[in-house]
Structure 1
Amino acid sequence: MDSYDPMEVNDDSDEVSDDFSVLSGESSELGDNPLELSRAMLKRYEASGDTSHLDDAVQTVRGALVLNSLDSGLVVQLGYLLHIRYKCLGRADDNEEALSLPCRVLDLTSDQDPDKLNMLNNLGAHLQSRFEREGELEDLEGAILVNRRAVDLTPDGHPDKPIYMNNLGISLQTRFERVGELEDIEDAIQVQRHAVNLTPDDHPHKPSCMHNLGISLQIRYERVGQLTDLEAAISVNRNSVELTPDGHPHKLGYMSNLGISLQSRFGRVGELGDLEAAISVQRRAVDLTPDGHPGKPSHMSNLGKSLQSRFERVGELADLEAAISVNRNSVELTPDG
């Protein structure tokens, strides 16, 4: 954290005064409700990218919890804010604090309390994040346990049930990749397919649910070899691309996975149309990805593989030259190390 230098206060006095006046106005308008104040500060962070607003939101809720340490709504909000800051800044202590919060109140919170579902879901996300950082299987087991409990406690028809099911599916998918038990990927596909079926087409989370189902189907195809899994993966991957507007930050990843699935089916069935479609979608993903984007080298590498495959099948020298060009660019854009 930057140190405070009292000699510099006059240089920034106008900016401090403006921020104070905005926050004072928010406080007056919202009646000093810490939840509403923190949400207003979070919106300012999302609009500006200035993490000081996120810090203010955390401090507001943390201060309110000092006076009411068992308020489940405050616990949920603080955990959510800490998770956002952890994802943004990578501070391990934020994730550790977020993990400790629900443990204090979960056992005291009735299963009928709507905040309990959010606490379980957030706890699962924090455990998953710590597993991804530290690799301890115990954290992943815990994430699966609390994610499953969130799903079991959520009635059908609840608007957040598909989100909880999707998160459970991701945790099961991750355990399959770590441990290799086929039952985990089977369970992941079942719960992710249910999440997709429960989510209307116009819901903003549907493409993400379809994308995760497509990954699980592709994984099972690679393990078991059933062509029906690959066909289903192509179908949901294509739908996730079609439902996602251009400019959405996740669309590039959806396009890349669709290309990989089409490439896989070409390798299995040999239909040139699949390879043509893979090249088309992979080229578009490369064209839409700005230089400097961390995913661009991967998108270029996938396109290079498809162009190489088409050269080997059709024999057009232009495909080989294009493959060499994109692979060279992929290497040049990849940072050392």
Structure 2
Amino acid sequence: MGSCLSTQQEPQTSTGKVVSERKVSSSILSQDNVEAILTEQKTRLLYFLDSTDQLRIHGKTSEAREYIAFAQSSGQNIPADHPSRTTLLESLSIALEYAFRDTCNLSDIDQAISVQSQIVQLCNLDQIRHAPTQSRLSSLYRIRFKESNDLKDMDSAISSAQIAVTNLTSSPIADGDAVMDSHYQLASALQCRHGYSKKLEDIIGAISSQRTVVILAPSDHPILPSWLQILAEMLEVHYSVTQAVESLDEAISHEQRAIQLVGKDEPSLSHLLHVQLARLYEQRSMHYGQTKYSADSIRAKRNAIRSLPDGTSKLPLLLGEFAESLFHHFSEVTNASQDLDEAISTMRAAIGLSKEGDSSHIENIYLLGTFLDFRYDLTKDLSSLDEAIVLQRAATNATHSEDKLLPQHLSLLSQYLGKRFFAAGAERDIDQAISLRRKAIKFLHEPSEHYPTIGHRHAALLVVRFEQRGQLTDLDEAISLETSILPSLSDSNATTPEHLFTLSSALMFRFKRQGNMSDINQAITYQQGAIALITSDDVKLPDFLNNLGTCFHSRFSRHKDLADIYEAVLCHRDCVDKTPPTNPVLPNRLNNLSISLSSLYDATLDPKDLDAAIVSSRKTIEGTPPGHRDLPLRLSNLGRLLQARFSRQENVIYLDEAISCFVRALELRPADEDLATDVLKNSATAYLRRFEVTKQREDVLAAAAALQACVDRTQDGHPSLQALMKSFNQARMLVESTD
């Protein structure tokens, strides 16, 4: 506005002279001269007034100072009892106020208050004019209070406003606008003082006065929407103090009415109303113990975005915040895919409108990645995870090496790559994931609250890679990491059980490779500690029980202590019982239970243990998807159990089923050569034993063929080759004897 005004010419009087050239006499002027001064005063004042009767001081400070000096000089030459003296002082008060707004020079507002106090005295006997002058004085005291923080100013503001309200209330001919303004000034002053005093009576008084303003205002009053918004704001403050939900309900009602009344040419006010309405909805939801991301709040936020004109500079930031709200609305309320899709599209729009240097740009890229990752978890659509990886890589690359968020960005990118590894099996993904986590740990500023989380996830991924490749260095690194983290964790820390679980798993795997008893003993101790720290309904308990059972089974395999195998069976059975039937990991847990029961049978020869092992093994196979890499091994295990049952009961149907299992396992072409050889040997044994019962030549032929295949796939010099050759020759002799 200032640059436009600088092109205007100085206003002229009716005589054509430039007003700035007029000199004011220091003597008492005649009535004609007084009128001339007042005319010039009015002309000068109009020069600084815009269409809303606000002074255009900004960019015109020197002219404003000239006007103030003129008004002050003129006031000295106009008789104290002149009827227009009040008008001159009022214009001077206005000029001083707006000069202060432009320069924040306290002497200006001090003078404005002094001048306004004179006006109050001059209007003391005029009840109608006295009230508006008191209201204005209240406003000036509030303005000074914002700079001085002197509560005396606020007390004076309230006192002046109360006088204005009292005078106007008792006057039968009071102007409606003046009455509304006096109540508004009193409400504003009381609200302001409450911000410092925190006295309930202040905010109650503010609400009472502002209600009066709203009640008195005609429905078409141009400022009514703003007054309604202010009243809603006061009621919100009252709720924060009293937790009276009725205040929120009333505030929401006022906001809704204001939204209906606000004009289309007031987008800023419309936006503010919708934002405040959304906040009120959130508070009301939380009051009733519900999530703040209700449908009402989301609707209000959506309307707040729509109310903004195109090109609004803060639109990218607001779109990003709205996208976050949509995501929480999806995850906490609806679980509806369209809400997640809207969150994703809204965040994409926010990123598209923002610049790379904007503070919110990287954060929005990161958030969009998390939204897409969540969609992948729901849909298993790898394209969503691929995009999340691309976005998180961009956010990571854009983060400075000294930024404290870099380790978190690196860790999250690692998490996405690890997830894609589990889905697609690409080894480069798990290698990159581990490399990124190593970098994240390197960039952590010690001591860091994020070290336990990032270190734990890195250790867990190292254990997974060990299971894939068998590199002991991965286990050693995982154990070292978790061991260094544990001392910093308390039993009350929610993540401590997971750290103990990962450490236990790593120690158990190392025991299986190296046979160090201290490893398996520690593994059991740590896993028992993890279970002791969680509740019986914790979703992690089945995993922990499964791991503990496997640890006990591993120690039993070495030392043959029956107490260990009993513990293994108990843990695995409890794990299966606590696993929902629809959980995809149930077949794995049933398989572990079957293995433990089989080991228990081998140790005790109790047929009940064998029967239970067979039941678990059958359920395992029923739940294993076709094409699963472990299906051949599981079929082989069931075949061996059925052979063991035949040895006890000598019912050929068990051999029939065992042979069927071995045939299916071989048809699946197991990738493990040792497993294939083992299945062939077991099937040969089963055929020969059935031949002993049925004397069917086909059985001995099948046994010979299986043994021939074993011999063919066994390398020269292998320790088992001689025994295989002997078995094969015996089978061939049986074939010849049946000719």
Same fold (TM over 0.5): yes
Q: 1:292, 1:333 within 8 Å by CA — same for their partners in 2?
A: no
User: Which residue type is aligned with residue 654 of structure 2?
Assistant: D
Q: Does 2:163 correspond to 1:163?
A: no
Separation in structure 2 between the aligned mates of residue 180 and residue 137 of structure 1, nearest angstrom = 13
Separation in structure 1 between the aligned mates of residue 468 and residue 588 of structure 2, nearest angstrom = 20
Post-superposition shift, 1:199? 0.5
Q: 2:507, 2:523 within 8 Å by CA — same for their partners in 1?
A: yes
Distance change (3 Å), C-alpha of 1:36 and 1:318: same
Q: Does 2:676 correspond to 1:310?
A: no
Name the SS for the 1:247 alignment partner. Answer: coil
Separation in structure 2 between the aligned mates of residue 183 and residue 145 of structure 1, nearest angstrom = 15
Question: Which residues of structure 1 form unaligned runs of 5+?
Answer: 1-20
Distance change (3 Å), C-alpha of 1:250 and 1:64: same
Q: Which structure exhibits the higher relative contact order, with contacts defined as CA atoms closer than 8 Å and separated by 6 or more residues?
A: 1
Name the SS for the 2:504 alignment partner. Answer: helix
- Out of 378, 382, 392, which is 1:26 matched to? 392
Q: 1:193, 1:213 within 8 Å by CA — same for their partners in 2?
A: yes
User: Which residue type is aligned with residue 542 of structure 2?
Assistant: P
Q: 2:550, 2:592 within 8 Å by CA — same for their partners in 1?
A: yes
- Out of 412, 418, 421, which is 1:36 matched to? 412
Indicate the residue corresponding to 1:330 in structure 2: 710
User: Which residue type is aligned with residue 568 of structure 2?
Assistant: A
Question: Which residues of structure 2 form unaligned runs of 5+?
Answer: 1-386, 400-405, 719-739
Q: 1:26, 1:37 within 8 Å by CA — same for their partners in 2?
A: yes
Separation in structure 1 between the aligned mates of residue 615 and residue 390 of structure 2, nearest angstrom = 52
Separation in structure 1 between the aligned mates of residue 548 and residue 466 of structure 2, nearest angstrom = 21
Post-superposition shift, 1:253? 1.7
User: Which residue type is aligned with residue 275 of structure 1?
Assistant: L
- Farther off after superposition, 250-259 or 112-121: 112-121
Separation in structure 1 between the aligned mates of residue 425 and residue 655 of structure 2, nearest angstrom = 41
Indicate the residue corresponding to 1:107 in structure 2: 487
Q: 1:86, 1:94 within 8 Å by CA — same for their partners in 2?
A: yes
Indicate the residue corresponding to 1:271 in structure 2: 651
Separation in structure 1 between the aligned mates of residue 458 and residue 582 of structure 2, nearest angstrom = 30
Post-superposition shift, 1:232? 0.5
Q: Does 2:598 correspond to 1:238?
A: no
- 5 Å-filtered alignment, 1:61-80, equals 61-66=437-442, 67-68=444-445, 71-80=451-460
Distance change (3 Å), C-alpha of 1:261 and 1:22: closer
User: Which residue type is aligned with residue 189 of structure 1?
Assistant: V
Distance change (3 Å), C-alpha of 1:245 and 1:85: closer
User: Which residue type is aligned with residue 611 of structure 2?
Assistant: E
Between Structure 1 and Structure 2, whose CA radius of gyration is higher? Answer: 2
Higher fraction of helix: 1
Separation in structure 1 between the aligned mates of residue 389 and residue 573 of structure 2, nearest angstrom = 44
Indicate the residue corresponding to 1:132 in structure 2: 512
Indicate the residue corresponding to 2:638 in structure 1: 258
Post-superposition shift, 1:233? 0.6
Post-superposition shift, 1:242? 0.5
Post-superposition shift, 1:302? 1.5
Separation in structure 2 between the aligned mates of residue 156 and residue 149 of structure 1, nearest angstrom = 14
Indicate the residue corresponding to 1:191 in structure 2: 571
Post-superposition shift, 1:286? 1.2
In the superposition, the TM-score normalised over structure 2's length comes to 0.41
Distance change (3 Å), C-alpha of 1:44 and 1:223: closer
Q: 1:259, 1:282 within 8 Å by CA — same for their partners in 2?
A: yes
CA displacement 1:137-173 (0-9 Å, x = unmatched): 1111111111221222222222221111111111101
